[in-house]
């Protein structure tokens, strides 16, 4: 093979290698371009997805803001919005990067009842994204709380022997010593707790401080509720115990009540004005109106609120007719009792109450307190068990305790009757607040 042949062979190989290199370069260029396009496209999609998610989140919170503003409007509306026709409360209100529109639909059942309900629908838009939420709210009553106080009445302690089941609120600073058990959420309008020795409470549902105060009603509010719902066409049973008279109401397990009115003569003997009058509970239009003091006890079968313009004295256990062991109401019971005193609700110092006392019912002391007669004297009387609700303008004491073990009055065993969420004692006052009964995200 001569030199020229070798040269031609080398030139051919070089040309082939250049062709292969060119093909490889073209292939790699196409591949990298494809990868670059795919990556760029993915970045665009991811950016759009992130943007959509951010707008959806902003739209959701805009809708929530509209809901909160509607609730604030309802809280301060006096009286609450009437009628049953839906109305637009706010339209195209700008918030953040978007806007919202709120519609309020009063319940059809609002007419003729003081318990008002409303469905609030809020539609919000941010950019191209829309979110809608819907919530149903209703006026809450004082039966909402296991325990409620406007004032704690000075320094009255929750102690290690106390158990409170259900929501607890005070407009005042709550005093806690030792390790009481709070089975429901605890709220206070104060910014701290008064912490006593061995402070170690068990807040099983947590607590929240600095919440808005709950305003207590007056007697006229109860009367207005009665007139609005009942119309005054069926007057309540009215018992007149004024002018140095006393009254007693005994609830009977057959659905009747027995009531008496008397005065004391010069020698201290009872002189009856009305003695052992029996009335069917179903005939009293849901209310017993006592003008003056009244002693109360017995077994309730039916639904009624007892209103007294003076003190209500609980002289023995008050139970529902189908309450179980220890006075626990049946979850299927339709019995409900409201006790409203313009002054005090008192656990009387009677022989029957010397060893434990059980009360079924929603209690509200408008003027002063729920308390125990002579709570500071004698020996320990056992446990005061409440299955229902207790609200008092100023907290009253039910017993005393000491570090060395001595005590008088009662230990507390308070349980919230969950039926009060849906079954309200007739004409029981509202708190001026609204509670949310359901909430729905319409965007899903």
Confidence band (pLDDT; 50, 70, 90) for 422? confident
Q: Are 30 and 62 within one domain?
A: yes
Q: Are 229 and 348 within one domain?
A: yes
The count of domains in the chain is 2
304-338: buried (b, 16+ CB within 10 Å) or exposed (e) per residue?
Answer: bbbbbbbbbbbbbbbbbbebeeebbbeeebebbbb
| Residue 283 counted as domain residue | yes
Q: Are 123 and 146 within one domain?
A: no
pLDDT at 32 over 70: no
| Residue 441 counted as domain residue | no
User: Hey, which of 23-37, 74-88, 180-194 has the most confident mean pLDDT?
Assistant: 180-194
Q: Which long-range contacts (CB under 8 A, 24 or more apart) does 351-355 make?
A: 352/297, 352/315, 352/316, 352/317, 353/314, 353/315, 353/316, 353/381, 354/381, 355/381, 355/382
Closest CA to 58 of 92, 100, 96: 96
Q: Are 239 and 264 within one domain?
A: yes
Closest CA to 322 of 267, 236, 422, 255: 255
Domain extent, residue 183, equals 142-432
118 near 137, Cβ under 8 Å? yes
pLDDT tens-digit map of 156-207: 999 998 899 889 999 999 999 999 999 999 999 999 999 999 999 999 999 9
User: DSSP letters along 253-313, please?
Assistant: TTSEEEEEEEEE-TTS-EEEEEEEEEEEGGGSTTEEEEEE-EEEEEEE-SEEEEEESS-EE
19-54: buried (b, 16+ CB within 10 Å) or exposed (e) per residue?
Answer: eeeeeeeeeeeeeeeeeeeeeeeeeeeeeeeeeeee
Percentage of residues in the chain with pLDDT exceeding 70? 87
Confidence band (pLDDT; 50, 70, 90) for 6? very low
Which residues face 303 on adjacent strands?
A: 336
Q: Are 230 and 358 within one domain?
A: yes
| Residue 15 counted as domain residue | yes
Q: Are 170 and 297 within one domain?
A: yes
Q: Are 232 and 100 within one domain?
A: no
| Residue 195 counted as domain residue | yes
State the pLDDT at residue 10.
44
d(CA 384, CA 144): 20
Here the tokens at position 73 are 């409007």
State the pLDDT at residue 334.
95
Query: Of 127, 153, 174, which closes a domain?
Result: 127
d(CA 361, CA 318): 8
Q: Are 93 and 155 within one domain?
A: no
pLDDT tens-digit map of 50-76: 667 888 899 999 999 999 999 999 988
Query: Of 79, 99, 127, which closes a domain?
Result: 127
Q: Are 86 and 206 within one domain?
A: no
Q: Are 95 and 150 within one domain?
A: no
Mean pLDDT of the chain: 87
Q: Are 122 and 160 within one domain?
A: no
275 or 43: which leads in pLDDT: 275
| Residue 133 counted as domain residue | no
Confidence band (pLDDT; 50, 70, 90) for 3? very low
| Residue 328 counted as domain residue | yes
Q: Are 182 and 122 within one domain?
A: no
| Residue 111 counted as domain residue | yes
| Residue 439 counted as domain residue | no
| Residue 416 half-sphere exposure toward CB, CA atoms < 13 A | 23
Rounded average pLDDT over 221-247: 86
Query: Whole-prediction pTM value?
Result: 0.79
């Amino acid at each position: 093979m001569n030199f020229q042949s070798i040269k031609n062979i080398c030139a051919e190989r070089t040309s082939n290698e250049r062709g292969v290199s060119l093909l490889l370069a073209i292939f790699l260029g196409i591949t990298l371009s494809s990868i670059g396009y795919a990556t760029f496209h993915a970045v665009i999609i991811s950016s759009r997805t992130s943007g959509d998610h951010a707008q959806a989140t902003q739209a959701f919170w805009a809708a929530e803001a509209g809901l909160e503003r509607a609730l604030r409007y309802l809280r301060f509306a006096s009286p609450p919005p009437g009628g049953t026709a839906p109305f637009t409360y706010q339209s195209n209100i700008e918030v953040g990067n978007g806007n919202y529109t709120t519609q309020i639909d009063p319940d059809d059942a609002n007419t003729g009842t003081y318990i008002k309900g409303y469905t609030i629908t809020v539609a919000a838009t941010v950019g191209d994204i829309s979110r809608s939420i819907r919530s149903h709210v209703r006026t809450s009553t004082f039966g909402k709380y296991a325990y409620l106080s406007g004032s704690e009445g000075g320094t009255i302690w929750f102690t290690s022997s106390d158990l409170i089941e259900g929501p607890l609120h005070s407009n005042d600073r709550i005093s806690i010593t030792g390790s009481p058990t709070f089975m429901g959420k605890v709220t206070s309008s104060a910014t701290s707790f008064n912490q006593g020795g061995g402070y170690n409470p068990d807040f099983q549902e947590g607590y929240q401080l600095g919440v808005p105060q709950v305003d207590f009603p007056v007697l006229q509010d109860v009367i207005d509720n009665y007139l609005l719902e009942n119309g005054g066409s069926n007057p309540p049973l009215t018992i007149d115990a004024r002018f140095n008279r006393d009254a007693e109401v005994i609830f009977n397990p057959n659905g009747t009540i027995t009531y008496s009115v008397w005065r004391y003569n010069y020698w201290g003997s009872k002189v009856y004005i009305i003695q052992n009058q029996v009335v069917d509970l179903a005939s009293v239009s849901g209310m017993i109106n006592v003008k003056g003091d009244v002693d109360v006890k017995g077994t309730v079968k039916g639904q009624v609120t007892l209103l007294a313009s003076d003190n209500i004295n609980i002289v023995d256990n008050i139970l529902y007719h189908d309450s179980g062991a220890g006075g626990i109401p049946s979850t299927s019971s339709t019995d409900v009792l409201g006790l409203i005193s313009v002054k005090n609700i008192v656990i009387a110092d009677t022989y029957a109450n010397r060893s434990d006392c059980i009360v079924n019912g929603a209690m509200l002391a408008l003027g002063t307190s729920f308390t125990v007669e002579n709570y500071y004297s004698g020996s320990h009387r056992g446990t005061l068990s409440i299955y229902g609700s207790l609200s008092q303008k100023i907290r009253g004491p039910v017993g005393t305790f000491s570090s060395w073990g001595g005590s008088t009055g009662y230990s507390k065993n308070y349980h919230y009757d969950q039926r009060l969420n849906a079954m309200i004692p007739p004409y029981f006052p509202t708190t001026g607040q609204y509670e949310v009964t359901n909430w729905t995200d319409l965007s899903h």
